[in-house]
Homo-oligomer: A and B are copies of this chain.
Amino acid sequence: MTTPLAPGSTIGILGGGQLGRMLSVAASRLGYRCHIFEPGAAPPAGDVAFAVTTASYDDEAALRAFADAVDVITYEFENIPTSALDLLEAHGPIRPGREALRVSQDRLTEKRFMADLGLATAPFAPVDSAATLAEALEQIGTPAILKTRRFGYDGKGQARIMAPGDASQALADMQGAPAILEGFVPFSSEVSVIAARGLDGQVTAYDPGQNVHEGGILRTTTVPAALPKRLSTDAVLIAARILNALDYVGVMGVELFVTPQELIVNEIAPRVHNSGHWTQDGCAVDQFEQHIRAITGWPLGDGARYADVVMENLIGDDLDQVPALAGAANCALHLYGKAAVKPGRKMGHVNRITAH
Protein backbone atom coordinates (compact mmCIF):
# COMPACT_ATOMS: atom_id res chain seq x y z
CA MET A 1 0.00 0.00 0.00
CA THR A 2 1.13 3.52 -0.69
CA THR A 3 1.61 5.80 2.30
CA PRO A 4 -1.23 8.32 2.36
CA LEU A 5 -0.65 12.03 2.38
CA ALA A 6 0.02 13.04 6.00
CA PRO A 7 -2.94 14.22 8.11
CA GLY A 8 -3.13 18.00 8.16
CA SER A 9 -1.86 18.25 4.57
CA THR A 10 -3.52 20.66 2.19
CA ILE A 11 -5.38 19.69 -0.96
CA GLY A 12 -5.59 22.30 -3.69
CA ILE A 13 -8.87 22.33 -5.60
CA LEU A 14 -9.22 24.14 -8.92
CA GLY A 15 -12.75 25.49 -9.04
CA GLY A 16 -14.90 26.69 -6.16
CA GLY A 17 -18.39 25.52 -7.06
CA GLN A 18 -20.60 23.01 -5.31
CA LEU A 19 -18.38 20.07 -6.24
CA GLY A 20 -15.36 21.77 -4.67
CA ARG A 21 -17.53 22.59 -1.67
CA MET A 22 -18.52 18.97 -1.10
CA LEU A 23 -14.97 17.75 -1.80
CA SER A 24 -13.70 20.11 0.90
CA VAL A 25 -16.20 18.77 3.41
CA ALA A 26 -15.21 15.19 2.58
CA ALA A 27 -11.52 16.05 2.88
CA SER A 28 -12.16 17.37 6.38
CA ARG A 29 -13.50 13.97 7.43
CA LEU A 30 -10.10 12.50 6.57
CA GLY A 31 -8.23 15.24 8.44
CA TYR A 32 -7.18 17.28 5.40
CA ARG A 33 -7.55 20.97 4.62
CA CYS A 34 -8.58 22.38 1.27
CA HIS A 35 -7.35 25.46 -0.54
CA ILE A 36 -9.66 26.65 -3.33
CA PHE A 37 -8.47 28.39 -6.50
CA GLU A 38 -11.35 30.17 -8.20
CA PRO A 39 -11.60 33.26 -10.41
CA GLY A 40 -15.14 34.14 -9.33
CA ALA A 41 -16.00 36.03 -6.14
CA ALA A 42 -17.64 34.33 -3.14
CA PRO A 43 -17.23 30.75 -4.35
CA PRO A 44 -19.55 28.21 -2.69
CA ALA A 45 -16.52 26.11 -1.75
CA GLY A 46 -15.02 29.06 0.11
CA ASP A 47 -17.62 28.69 2.87
CA VAL A 48 -16.02 25.42 3.99
CA ALA A 49 -12.40 25.80 2.91
CA PHE A 50 -9.19 26.45 4.83
CA ALA A 51 -8.07 29.02 2.26
CA VAL A 52 -9.29 30.62 -0.96
CA THR A 53 -7.27 32.19 -3.77
CA THR A 54 -9.37 34.50 -5.94
CA ALA A 55 -7.46 34.86 -9.22
CA SER A 56 -7.78 34.05 -12.89
CA TYR A 57 -6.18 31.02 -14.50
CA ASP A 58 -3.68 33.23 -16.33
CA ASP A 59 -2.39 34.83 -13.12
CA GLU A 60 0.93 33.01 -12.96
CA ALA A 61 2.02 34.49 -9.64
CA ALA A 62 -1.24 33.42 -8.01
CA LEU A 63 -1.00 29.94 -9.53
CA ARG A 64 2.57 29.57 -8.25
CA ALA A 65 1.68 30.73 -4.73
CA PHE A 66 -1.29 28.34 -4.74
CA ALA A 67 0.84 25.43 -5.90
CA ASP A 68 3.43 26.17 -3.22
CA ALA A 69 0.74 26.22 -0.52
CA VAL A 70 -0.72 22.80 -1.31
CA ASP A 71 0.46 19.20 -1.27
CA VAL A 72 -1.61 17.78 -4.12
CA ILE A 73 -3.90 19.39 -6.69
CA THR A 74 -7.26 18.22 -7.93
CA TYR A 75 -10.14 19.92 -9.72
CA GLU A 76 -13.90 20.07 -9.87
CA PHE A 77 -14.23 20.81 -13.60
CA GLU A 78 -12.33 19.64 -16.65
CA ASN A 79 -12.01 22.81 -18.71
CA ILE A 80 -8.92 24.14 -16.99
CA PRO A 81 -6.62 26.08 -19.34
CA THR A 82 -3.61 24.04 -20.44
CA SER A 83 -1.21 26.86 -19.59
CA ALA A 84 -2.36 26.78 -15.96
CA LEU A 85 -1.97 23.01 -15.80
CA ASP A 86 1.54 23.22 -17.27
CA LEU A 87 2.57 25.70 -14.62
CA LEU A 88 0.96 23.81 -11.73
CA GLU A 89 2.29 20.44 -12.77
CA ALA A 90 5.86 21.70 -12.39
CA HIS A 91 5.17 22.20 -8.67
CA GLY A 92 3.48 18.97 -7.71
CA PRO A 93 1.09 16.21 -8.63
CA ILE A 94 -2.24 16.92 -10.33
CA ARG A 95 -4.73 14.11 -9.82
CA PRO A 96 -6.52 12.88 -11.89
CA GLY A 97 -3.60 13.29 -14.33
CA ARG A 98 -3.22 15.20 -17.56
CA GLU A 99 -4.14 12.29 -19.83
CA ALA A 100 -7.67 12.16 -18.42
CA LEU A 101 -8.03 15.89 -18.95
CA ARG A 102 -6.63 15.73 -22.49
CA VAL A 103 -9.10 13.02 -23.42
CA SER A 104 -12.17 14.47 -21.73
CA GLN A 105 -11.62 18.12 -22.72
CA ASP A 106 -12.23 17.31 -26.38
CA ARG A 107 -15.31 15.37 -27.46
CA LEU A 108 -13.60 14.09 -30.59
CA THR A 109 -10.52 12.85 -28.73
CA GLU A 110 -12.82 11.24 -26.17
CA LYS A 111 -14.89 9.42 -28.79
CA ARG A 112 -11.75 8.15 -30.55
CA PHE A 113 -10.32 7.02 -27.20
CA MET A 114 -13.47 5.00 -26.47
CA ALA A 115 -13.47 3.50 -29.96
CA ASP A 116 -9.80 2.52 -29.59
CA LEU A 117 -10.72 0.75 -26.33
CA GLY A 118 -13.35 -1.22 -28.24
CA LEU A 119 -16.22 0.50 -26.46
CA ALA A 120 -19.44 1.36 -28.26
CA THR A 121 -20.14 5.05 -28.88
CA ALA A 122 -22.65 7.01 -30.93
CA PRO A 123 -21.54 7.34 -34.57
CA PHE A 124 -19.42 10.49 -34.86
CA ALA A 125 -17.45 12.59 -37.30
CA PRO A 126 -15.36 15.76 -36.97
CA VAL A 127 -16.83 18.99 -38.35
CA ASP A 128 -15.00 22.24 -39.00
CA SER A 129 -16.75 23.61 -42.08
CA ALA A 130 -19.93 23.41 -44.12
CA ALA A 131 -18.23 20.86 -46.32
CA THR A 132 -17.18 18.52 -43.49
CA LEU A 133 -20.63 18.91 -41.91
CA ALA A 134 -22.30 17.87 -45.19
CA GLU A 135 -19.94 14.90 -45.39
CA ALA A 136 -20.64 13.97 -41.76
CA LEU A 137 -24.40 14.20 -42.27
CA GLU A 138 -24.16 11.94 -45.30
CA GLN A 139 -22.28 9.38 -43.23
CA ILE A 140 -24.35 9.61 -40.01
CA GLY A 141 -27.77 10.80 -41.23
CA THR A 142 -30.39 12.71 -39.26
CA PRO A 143 -31.45 13.25 -36.59
CA ALA A 144 -28.02 14.13 -35.28
CA ILE A 145 -26.48 16.60 -32.88
CA LEU A 146 -23.67 19.03 -33.53
CA LYS A 147 -21.51 19.85 -30.52
CA THR A 148 -18.46 22.01 -29.96
CA ARG A 149 -15.47 19.77 -29.30
CA ARG A 150 -14.51 21.76 -26.21
CA PHE A 151 -16.05 23.75 -23.34
CA GLY A 152 -19.59 22.40 -23.47
CA TYR A 153 -21.56 21.63 -20.33
CA ASP A 154 -25.19 21.28 -19.26
CA GLY A 155 -26.34 21.22 -22.90
CA LYS A 156 -24.49 24.39 -23.88
CA GLY A 157 -22.64 24.49 -27.24
CA GLN A 158 -25.00 21.98 -28.84
CA ALA A 159 -27.43 22.16 -31.77
CA ARG A 160 -29.83 19.50 -32.97
CA ILE A 161 -30.08 18.71 -36.66
CA MET A 162 -33.43 17.05 -37.21
CA ALA A 163 -33.24 17.35 -41.01
CA PRO A 164 -30.48 18.42 -43.43
CA GLY A 165 -32.07 21.87 -43.68
CA ASP A 166 -31.05 22.57 -40.03
CA ALA A 167 -27.39 22.18 -40.89
CA SER A 168 -26.38 25.74 -41.66
CA GLN A 169 -28.02 27.18 -38.53
CA ALA A 170 -26.41 24.48 -36.38
CA LEU A 171 -23.01 25.26 -37.85
CA ALA A 172 -23.57 28.97 -37.21
CA ASP A 173 -24.41 28.12 -33.58
CA MET A 174 -20.90 26.70 -33.18
CA GLN A 175 -19.52 30.21 -33.80
CA GLY A 176 -16.54 28.86 -35.71
CA ALA A 177 -15.45 26.44 -32.96
CA PRO A 178 -14.25 22.97 -34.04
CA ALA A 179 -17.19 20.59 -33.65
CA ILE A 180 -18.25 16.98 -33.75
CA LEU A 181 -21.40 15.54 -35.27
CA GLU A 182 -22.93 12.72 -33.25
CA GLY A 183 -25.65 10.39 -34.43
CA PHE A 184 -28.70 9.82 -32.23
CA VAL A 185 -28.64 6.63 -30.23
CA PRO A 186 -32.09 5.00 -29.82
CA PHE A 187 -31.56 4.50 -26.10
CA SER A 188 -34.22 3.51 -23.63
CA SER A 189 -32.55 5.18 -20.65
CA GLU A 190 -29.36 6.78 -19.47
CA VAL A 191 -27.32 5.49 -16.57
CA SER A 192 -24.05 6.59 -15.09
CA VAL A 193 -21.38 4.79 -13.20
CA ILE A 194 -19.34 6.62 -10.60
CA ALA A 195 -16.05 4.75 -10.48
CA ALA A 196 -12.85 5.35 -8.58
CA ARG A 197 -9.26 4.24 -9.01
CA GLY A 198 -6.72 4.53 -6.23
CA LEU A 199 -3.06 5.53 -6.40
CA ASP A 200 -2.23 1.84 -6.17
CA GLY A 201 -4.47 0.93 -9.12
CA GLN A 202 -7.35 -0.45 -7.06
CA VAL A 203 -10.67 0.11 -8.86
CA THR A 204 -14.16 0.28 -7.39
CA ALA A 205 -17.52 1.49 -8.64
CA TYR A 206 -20.81 2.52 -7.10
CA ASP A 207 -24.05 0.95 -8.26
CA PRO A 208 -25.16 2.52 -11.56
CA GLY A 209 -27.68 5.32 -11.24
CA GLN A 210 -30.44 6.07 -13.70
CA ASN A 211 -30.51 9.66 -14.92
CA VAL A 212 -33.26 11.89 -16.21
CA HIS A 213 -32.28 15.13 -17.91
CA GLU A 214 -34.41 18.16 -18.70
CA GLY A 215 -33.18 20.83 -21.08
CA GLY A 216 -29.72 19.31 -21.05
CA ILE A 217 -29.45 19.49 -17.24
CA LEU A 218 -29.55 16.51 -14.90
CA ARG A 219 -32.87 16.46 -13.10
CA THR A 220 -32.85 13.20 -11.11
CA THR A 221 -30.67 10.18 -10.48
CA THR A 222 -32.34 7.05 -9.14
CA VAL A 223 -30.66 4.04 -7.53
CA PRO A 224 -31.02 1.23 -8.13
CA ALA A 225 -31.27 1.79 -11.88
CA ALA A 226 -33.76 -0.32 -13.82
CA LEU A 227 -31.00 -2.28 -15.51
CA PRO A 228 -30.68 -6.01 -16.17
CA LYS A 229 -27.96 -7.59 -14.02
CA ARG A 230 -25.87 -8.34 -17.10
CA LEU A 231 -25.81 -4.70 -18.21
CA SER A 232 -25.20 -3.53 -14.67
CA THR A 233 -22.06 -5.64 -14.60
CA ASP A 234 -21.11 -4.40 -18.08
CA ALA A 235 -21.42 -0.81 -16.89
CA VAL A 236 -18.91 -1.36 -14.12
CA LEU A 237 -16.52 -3.23 -16.41
CA ILE A 238 -16.66 -0.45 -19.01
CA ALA A 239 -15.85 2.13 -16.34
CA ALA A 240 -12.97 0.03 -15.04
CA ARG A 241 -11.55 -0.36 -18.55
CA ILE A 242 -11.58 3.43 -19.05
CA LEU A 243 -9.97 4.18 -15.69
CA ASN A 244 -7.23 1.61 -16.18
CA ALA A 245 -6.49 2.77 -19.74
CA LEU A 246 -5.99 6.32 -18.44
CA ASP A 247 -3.92 5.19 -15.43
CA TYR A 248 -6.54 7.26 -13.66
CA VAL A 249 -6.43 8.41 -10.02
CA GLY A 250 -9.66 9.71 -8.53
CA VAL A 251 -13.38 9.50 -9.14
CA MET A 252 -14.84 9.58 -12.65
CA GLY A 253 -18.41 9.86 -13.88
CA VAL A 254 -19.16 7.67 -16.90
CA GLU A 255 -22.47 8.35 -18.67
CA LEU A 256 -23.90 5.46 -20.63
CA PHE A 257 -26.87 5.06 -22.95
CA VAL A 258 -28.84 1.87 -22.45
CA THR A 259 -30.09 0.06 -25.55
CA PRO A 260 -31.70 -3.38 -25.48
CA GLN A 261 -28.47 -4.90 -26.76
CA GLU A 262 -25.69 -2.98 -25.10
CA LEU A 263 -24.35 0.05 -23.29
CA ILE A 264 -23.04 2.95 -25.31
CA VAL A 265 -20.57 5.40 -23.78
CA ASN A 266 -21.97 8.91 -23.95
CA GLU A 267 -19.30 10.88 -22.14
CA ILE A 268 -16.95 10.87 -19.21
CA ALA A 269 -16.19 13.49 -16.60
CA PRO A 270 -12.81 13.22 -14.86
CA ARG A 271 -14.16 14.33 -11.50
CA VAL A 272 -16.92 13.80 -9.00
CA HIS A 273 -20.21 13.94 -10.82
CA ASN A 274 -23.71 15.30 -10.19
CA SER A 275 -25.15 11.83 -10.81
CA GLY A 276 -23.09 10.54 -7.86
CA HIS A 277 -24.57 12.86 -5.24
CA TRP A 278 -26.89 10.08 -4.04
CA THR A 279 -23.85 8.37 -2.50
CA GLN A 280 -23.86 11.01 0.26
CA ASP A 281 -26.90 9.38 1.77
CA GLY A 282 -26.66 5.86 0.41
CA CYS A 283 -23.14 4.65 1.23
CA ALA A 284 -20.69 4.63 4.13
CA VAL A 285 -18.14 6.38 1.90
CA ASP A 286 -19.51 8.84 -0.67
CA GLN A 287 -18.04 9.85 -4.02
CA PHE A 288 -16.44 12.98 -2.57
CA GLU A 289 -14.56 11.09 0.12
CA GLN A 290 -13.69 8.37 -2.39
CA HIS A 291 -12.09 10.99 -4.62
CA ILE A 292 -10.13 12.47 -1.74
CA ARG A 293 -9.05 8.98 -0.70
CA ALA A 294 -7.81 8.21 -4.21
CA ILE A 295 -5.80 11.39 -4.72
CA THR A 296 -4.22 11.26 -1.25
CA GLY A 297 -3.19 7.61 -1.46
CA TRP A 298 -5.72 6.13 0.97
CA PRO A 299 -7.27 2.77 0.25
CA LEU A 300 -10.63 3.21 -1.46
CA GLY A 301 -13.55 3.02 0.97
CA ASP A 302 -16.68 0.95 1.25
CA GLY A 303 -19.03 2.23 -1.43
CA ALA A 304 -21.61 -0.52 -1.07
CA ARG A 305 -25.11 0.93 -1.44
CA TYR A 306 -27.28 0.51 1.67
CA ALA A 307 -30.32 2.51 0.59
CA ASP A 308 -32.53 3.21 -2.39
CA VAL A 309 -32.20 6.89 -3.20
CA VAL A 310 -33.69 9.40 -5.59
CA MET A 311 -31.41 12.41 -5.98
CA GLU A 312 -33.21 15.46 -7.30
CA ASN A 313 -31.41 18.62 -8.34
CA LEU A 314 -32.82 21.90 -7.08
CA ILE A 315 -32.45 24.16 -10.10
CA GLY A 316 -33.26 27.87 -10.10
CA ASP A 317 -36.69 28.42 -8.57
CA ASP A 318 -36.78 24.83 -7.31
CA LEU A 319 -35.31 26.47 -4.23
CA ASP A 320 -38.88 27.47 -3.39
CA GLN A 321 -39.48 23.81 -2.52
CA VAL A 322 -37.00 23.95 0.35
CA PRO A 323 -39.50 24.83 3.08
CA ALA A 324 -41.62 21.80 2.14
CA LEU A 325 -38.57 19.54 1.79
CA ALA A 326 -37.16 20.75 5.10
CA GLY A 327 -39.86 19.02 7.06
CA ALA A 328 -40.26 15.94 4.88
CA ALA A 329 -39.36 12.47 6.10
CA ASN A 330 -36.33 10.65 4.68
CA CYS A 331 -35.05 13.73 2.87
CA ALA A 332 -31.48 14.92 3.14
CA LEU A 333 -30.99 18.46 1.84
CA HIS A 334 -27.75 19.75 0.40
CA LEU A 335 -27.77 23.45 -0.45
CA TYR A 336 -24.83 25.18 -2.10
CA GLY A 337 -25.02 28.61 -0.49
CA LYS A 338 -25.22 30.42 -3.83
CA ALA A 339 -26.40 33.98 -3.36
CA ALA A 340 -28.22 34.57 -6.67
CA VAL A 341 -30.97 32.28 -7.94
CA LYS A 342 -30.83 32.04 -11.77
CA PRO A 343 -32.81 29.86 -14.18
CA GLY A 344 -30.83 26.70 -14.89
CA ARG A 345 -28.48 27.30 -11.96
CA LYS A 346 -27.92 24.34 -9.65
CA MET A 347 -28.79 25.67 -6.18
CA GLY A 348 -28.74 22.40 -4.27
CA HIS A 349 -30.04 18.86 -4.30
CA VAL A 350 -32.14 16.61 -2.15
CA ASN A 351 -31.54 12.92 -1.57
CA ARG A 352 -34.83 11.15 -0.92
CA ILE A 353 -34.17 7.87 0.80
CA THR A 354 -36.89 5.63 -0.58
CA ALA A 355 -35.92 2.36 1.11
CA HIS A 356 -33.36 0.98 3.54
Q: Is the CB of A33 within 8 A of B47?
A: yes
Instruction: Judge whether A140 is part of the interface by a CB distance below 8 angstroms.
Output: no
A29 contacts across to B, CB distance below 8 A:
333-335
Bound CA span A87–B18, Å: 36
A21 contacts across to B, CB distance below 8 A:
28
Interface size on A, residues (CB 8 A): 47
Instruction: Judge whether A84 is part of the interface by a CB distance below 8 angstroms.
Output: no
A50 contacts across to B, CB distance below 8 A:
46-48
Which parts of A299-328 form the interface with B (CB within 8 Å)? 299, 301-302, 304, 306-307, 323, 326-328
- Smallest distance from the beta carbon of A7 to chain B beta carbons, Å? 7
- Smallest distance from the beta carbon of A288 to chain B beta carbons, Å? 12
A9-31: contact bitstring with B at CB < 8 Å (1 yes, 0 no)?
A: 00000000000010011001111
Q: Is the CB of A7 within 8 A of B337?
A: yes
Q: Is the CB of B337 within 8 A of A33?
A: yes
- Smallest distance from the beta carbon of A121 to chain B beta carbons, Å? 35
A285 contacts across to B, CB distance below 8 A:
332
* Chain B, Cβ-Cβ closest to A29: B334
14 new A-B contacts at CB < 8 Å, known A25-B28, A47-B50: A1-B323, A7-B337, A25-B48, A28-B48, A29-B335, A31-B337, A31-B338, A285-B332, A293-B326, A299-B326, A302-B328, A302-B331, A304-B329, A356-B356
List of 10 A-B pairs having minimum Cβ-Cβ separation, nearest first: A31-B335, A299-B327, A48-B48, A31-B337, A33-B47, A302-B329, A306-B356, A28-B48, A284-B332, A47-B50
**What would be 8 A-B contacts, judged by CB atoms less than 8 Å apart?**
A25-B28, A31-B336, A31-B338, A48-B48, A284-B330, A284-B332, A306-B353, A356-B356
